[in-house]
A and B are shown apart, each in its own frame.
Chain A
Amino acid sequence: MKKLMIIFMILYMISFVIAQTDWNIYYRLSLDYDTGEINISSVQIEISDIPENTPGDYRAKVMDYNDNLLNLTFFDVPNKILWDGINPETGEIDRGGELELNQTSFEIFIPYYENAKEIIIYNKNQAEIARRDISEYSKQRAAIQEKEANETERQKAKGNVNQIEEKITKYWWILLIILIILVIILIYSLRKKGNK
């Protein structure tokens, strides 16, 4: 519950700050590329001017809780680099070329949506290659989670009452025995007093 309150407050504060400035909220995704495969190593929320992505045929889709498309971002894997070689004697660049790296790490930037549930990455052939749940950053999730939490607490309280009822039904005879013993002790002590 506390966690939810904190998330709510952070989101509220962010919205307030954004409303006062021209900044944007966006997801910063760190991606690891390895011979055609992509792994999303981390997702962060940042507030600033959203940096541009390298244009390309890779796609990142942001989906909401009802599987609707919220955003489509195109990007490229920056694994093609220009390398330059330096002449050890003259110190001048006198050689070089283009190189395609099999592995590289890079980042992409996608606008933030408060009702986003997940990000799906597709390659140039439109085949899905990575997926990441981002619901922890969504307001909708926070609301759903709060509802769920309230429901759980209600169920818990109800459960406790039911448990006591169940126990009483199950162990009524023990209570009866205790009661009988108490009555016997009472009668015995009363008789003793009467005799005196």
Chain B
Amino acid sequence: MEKIKKNNLILMIVLLFICISFILAATSTQDSQKSPPTDFGKSIGLKEGELTGSGVKYSKGTLTFDEKDSDLNIKGSEFKNIKSQSEAKHPSYVKIDEKTGNIIGADFTTNEKGGTYNFGGTKFDVPPNSRVVYDKEGVQFPEKTNITKIEGIKKISGNNLNLPGGKTMSGTLSYKDGQAYVPKKSSAIINGIEIKSTDGDTNLFFDGSKHKGRYVSLGDKNMIFSADNEKELLLNFKEGNPYLKIDKGDSVIMQAAPNSNIAIENRDDLKKIPKVTVEGAFIIDEDSKSIERIKGDGGLYLSNYQKLSKSNVKTSTSPIELITTKGESWQRLFVDNFDRIAVVREGDEGFENIEGINTKFSARLDYNYPSIKNIEALTGKRIGAGLNFYETSKGQQDLILGRLRDYYPNLDSETKDKIKKINFADDNYFNKKFDRSYSTGAFANKDGTLTFRSNSRFSYPTFRHETSHLTQFSMEEKYKTEWKNIAGDIYGKNVKEDKDGSYIYKDDSSSEGAKYGCVRAYGCKNELEDGATFVEQISDDPEFFKNLINPNSKEYNPKYRQKIDFLYKYKFISDKEYNAVLSAAGVK
């Protein structure tokens, strides 16, 4: 019995050896299938070993990758992990100058391993299964190629390339005598900044220092760019750039005028918003607003439309502290993250009356990026329950949170109680959900829900207009009856709808102001809109009623005062707002 067991064991060991030998034999067969390296250099007069390869065919300076796992060595530069022509499904080769043996062209696709290659002095790591094309114009790199050194090459192009020094690039970059530049009539995105070189070559530096001529100089945390003597230079800031914080939905475009330069400093370390310093004339588009200094003019001009972009899409701003200098004169502005601009002469904070509210502007980063927790605490509404965002970008959400932080404390407690839910929705969601035209800005619902567009149309007057509808709903018929007693039978009689849906006075379509006891034509539509437009106007501009409620004025109409008293009585407006209107008019 024991003998049988012993025999079985010996048999198994023998079988195991046979299997191992078989596997080893098979492997060595595979290795031996690879053709031995050929020295192609000898035939064209190169030194021994300068041009060798296996699985490669040589013909008139072109080395073709014909076989799987072929490799090539040109003057010490290795080309392996390259797919054969049949695998790559395109001509796969490296071209050399037969006299010098230098590489002058290539077109190949890496296999699943990827590889590190060298064209002259340009070294780069190519990801797996990616195609590299090199011709007399330059090198077209595949996406996410890591370029470790650039030398002896005219042009590089590709998407999301990692440049030496850690900068990223998409587009085309040319080189002359070692100097990188974005050629005329082309553009490149470097480190998240689109450089539009429309009118001339733009030199590129990677030190963040000042240089001469037309250039962009990118440091780690600061940058500077300058136009030349004749033409402007335009940069478009994208998400991920290290200088300005661009969230999804933000838009910032800057243009330096001839002989002007713009410097940007990231101040995250100091917990402050970026500082932008401009010497000379410029245009900066922030969202749909534009800040401009014209050549030869010391003044700053603000516009409510974009000057550099043709897009009319409402976006959001990226906060900056802007310092403009012209000779010895200088000006300082804050563009906050909520699509507002204010002059702040000194210090890190300042106040300006925006939409009737004393609004704080701050250089502090956290003030410009309000936390959801703070807003929840302020409104007593949780995100996703009482406070909802539909299809809004990060930039839009910041804009809304910042504005809500400024608007909400101005409501009295009764009005706050009436707001059950506040929704903010993107244009697409708004149009899809409610099937309303683009101009529709807000909804008020009897259940206490307010819905606004999540862009700069969410303004304080609009907020007050809609909240006043909630107060009207809560009063039900009492509101309509009492308001009508003051206003009289005027609704719908003196106004009509214009072609675009807006309301205009029948007798004078060009008039936009107060008439028939209404603040504007839309107020004469019905008693609900009349009251809401009054609240809106009182909160935004108390001086508006100056002549309308002063008995000594020619424009005096007692209905205005009666309506204001009504709104005060039923707490549509606060003591402060009521007194502001009376004091502006000089009446008690």
A residues bordering B, Cβ < 8 Å? 51, 54, 76, 78, 80-88, 90-96, 99, 101, 106-107
B29 contacts partner chain A, Cβ-Cβ < 8 Å: no
Contacts of A51 in B (CB 8 A): 420
A84-B502 in contact given A78-B446, A91-B457, A101-B434 (Cβ < 8 Å): no
A84-B449 in contact given A91-B457, A94-B520, A95-B439 (Cβ < 8 Å): no
> Which one of B438, B443, B457, B462 lies within 8 Å of A82 (CB-CB)?
B443
B457 pairs with A84, CB closer than 8 A: no
Shortest C-beta distance, B486 to chain A (Å), equals: 21
A94 pairs with B445, CB closer than 8 A: no
Shortest C-beta distance, A160 to chain B (Å), equals: 50
Query: In the complex, what residue of chain A is closest to B466 when comparing beta carbons?
Result: A84
Contacts of B512 in A (CB 8 A): 90
Contacts of A90 in B (CB 8 A): 512
B447 pairs with A87, CB closer than 8 A: no
B441 contacts partner chain A, Cβ-Cβ < 8 Å: yes
15 contacts between A and B (CB under 8 A): A78-B445, A78-B449, A81-B444, A83-B436, A83-B440, A84-B442, A84-B462, A86-B462, A88-B439, A93-B462, A93-B529, A93-B532, A94-B520, A95-B503, A96-B525
Contacts of A78 in B (CB 8 A): 445-447, 449
Give the distance in Å from the alpha carbon of A96 to the alpha carbon of B500 in the complex: 11
Contacts of B521 in A (CB 8 A): 94
A93-B447 in contact given A82-B528, A84-B465, A86-B462 (Cβ < 8 Å): no
Query: In the complex, what residue of chain A is closest to B456 when comparing beta carbons?
Result: A91
Contacts of A91 in B (CB 8 A): 457, 459, 461
Given contacts A84-B462, A86-B457, 19 further A-B contacts (CB under 8 A): A76-B447, A78-B445, A78-B446, A78-B449, A82-B445, A82-B528, A83-B436, A83-B440, A83-B443, A84-B441, A84-B443, A86-B439, A86-B441, A88-B438, A93-B462, A94-B503, A96-B440, A99-B443, A101-B434
> Which one of A80, A83, A93, A94 lies within 8 Å of B446 (CB-CB)?
A80
B445 pairs with A81, CB closer than 8 A: yes
Give the distance in Å from the alpha carbon of A93 to the alpha carbon of B503 in the complex: 10
Query: In the complex, what residue of chain A is closest to B474 when comparing beta carbons?
Result: A52
B497 contacts partner chain A, Cβ-Cβ < 8 Å: yes
A85 pairs with B437, CB closer than 8 A: yes
A96 pairs with B459, CB closer than 8 A: no
Query: In the complex, what residue of chain A is closest to B525 when comparing beta carbons?
Result: A96
Contacts of A106 in B (CB 8 A): 447, 449
A93 pairs with B443, CB closer than 8 A: no
Give the distance in Å from the alpha carbon of A54 to the alpha carbon of B470 in the complex: 12
Which residues of B (389-423) have their CB < 8 Å from a CB of A? 420
Shortest C-beta distance, B289 to chain A (Å), equals: 12
Contacts of A92 in B (CB 8 A): 461, 520, 522
Residues of chain B at interface, number, CB under 8 A: 37
Interface mask (B457-499 → A, CB under 8 Å = 1, otherwise 0): 1010110011001000000000000000000000000000100
Contacts of A99 in B (CB 8 A): 434, 436, 443
Give the distance in Å from the alpha carbon of A96 to the alpha carbon of B443 in the complex: 9
Contacts of B250 in A (CB 8 A): none
Query: In the complex, what residue of chain A is closest to B305 when comparing beta carbons?
Result: A89
B502 pairs with A94, CB closer than 8 A: yes
B321 contacts partner chain A, Cβ-Cβ < 8 Å: no
A54 pairs with B447, CB closer than 8 A: yes
Shortest C-beta distance, A24 to chain B (Å), equals: 17
Give the distance in Å from the alpha carbon of A59 to the alpha carbon of B532 in the complex: 32
A96-B529 in contact given A78-B449, A83-B434 (Cβ < 8 Å): yes
> Which one of B434, B437, B465 lies within 8 Å of A93 (CB-CB)?
B465
Contacts of B462 in A (CB 8 A): 84, 86, 93
Give the distance in Å from the alpha carbon of A95 to the alpha carbon of B520 in the complex: 11
> Which one of A80, A83, A95, A107 lies within 8 Å of B502 (CB-CB)?
A95
Give the distance in Å from the alpha carbon of A88 to the alpha carbon of B502 in the complex: 11
Contacts of A85 in B (CB 8 A): 436-437, 439-441, 501-502
Which of A51, A76, A83, A87 has its CB near the most chain B CB atoms (within 10 A)? A83
Shortest C-beta distance, A98 to chain B (Å), equals: 9
A96-B522 in contact given A83-B440, A85-B441 (Cβ < 8 Å): yes
Give the distance in Å from the alpha carbon of A107 to the alpha carbon of B536 in the complex: 29
B146 contacts partner chain A, Cβ-Cβ < 8 Å: no
Query: In the complex, what residue of chain B is closest to A85 when comparing beta carbons?
Result: B439
Shortest C-beta distance, A82 to chain B (Å), equals: 5
A54 pairs with B501, CB closer than 8 A: no
